[in-house]
Amino acid sequence: MIRRAPLVWMCLLATACESSVDRPASKERPADVPVLASGANGIAGSFCVLFDEGRVACSGALAVPAQDITAMKVLAEVPGLPRVADVAISQLHRQACALDLDGAVWCWGDHRGGALGRGTVDADLAPTSDYGQPARVVGLPPVSALAGATDAFCAIAVDGEVWCWGDNSAGTARPGGEAAAVSTPVVVAGMPRAVRIAATFMQVCAETEAGGVWCWGNLGRRGGVRQPLEIVTGGALEVVPSFQSMVICYTSSDGAPRCTPEPELGARTGDAGTPDDAER
């Protein structure tokens, strides 16, 4: 990664980074490059990286302004953000949210389902100039962690409460609620204080201080109210929601990876408790 300008980095990925045979030798000393702190990748190629200076750079649909598909390997610093501690991307790479050093959350990109947390749900789904620029999520207390589902985000407040907003078609933004879209953050009712959070396409899971795992969204239920469900009663170190709607995986206290069997999770959610039924 080479620093080209104050606001733009060129990310030389894949084969572009593998060879420099055709490049002329330069006697100039390369400029110092900020240390990469972390990265968040979207399923369709757009991604963001966080540098140790607290700055964020993104590519493709998550760049500001958004880039077309041919420019997905170009990283551009996202303007208008304070210093950032973490960054999360929604599962379909349509939105990104950054957590600043004061616990505020800033989002940008596609506003479908109220995913940017700006108090409105606009018919214009594209990342226009208004939505493409980062803006602070309204009505959200200071938070310590966040995760992105499909057109929805959830965050853990510093007091341990979980707040969510965005598209609610799978019950990820407001479990138990009827609203199709949640444009401002709401507390996830019915679950204890959380310390970690993770999400996939249609599931969100939070871990409690005691190592319990609570999940909501599409857990394989056939109708009914989608309230948070305790999947693991204790001993979990890290939870990993699965792409399969009836499987939740986690790292146990002994360091071993474990997954809830489909029949067991199906029984807890009210589905049939047989492997054949769980697969349908």
CA distances from 254 to 7, 43, 195, 197, 259 (A): 45, 31, 19, 20, 14
Looking at residue 111, what is its pLDDT?
87
Dihedral over alpha carbons 138, 142, 145, 148 (to 10 degrees)? 0
Return the minimum-mean-pLDDT range out of 49-58, 200-209, 217-226. 217-226
Instruction: Answer whether 116's CB lies under 8 Å from 108's CB.
Output: yes
Q: Which two tokens stand for residue 237?
A: 């170190």
Lowest mean pLDDT segment, chosen from 52-56, 192-196, 239-243, 266-270 = 266-270
Residue 64: pLDDT band by 50, 70, 90 thresholds?
A: confident
Question: Which of 22-36, 82-96, 165-179, 213-227 is the most confident on average?
Answer: 82-96
Rounded Cα distance between 166 and 176, Å, is 14
Helices within the chain (DSSP H only): 15-18, 129-132, 262-269, 275-279
Q: Per 3-state DSSP, what percentage of the chain is helix, strand, and coil (rounded to 5)?
A: 10, 35, 50
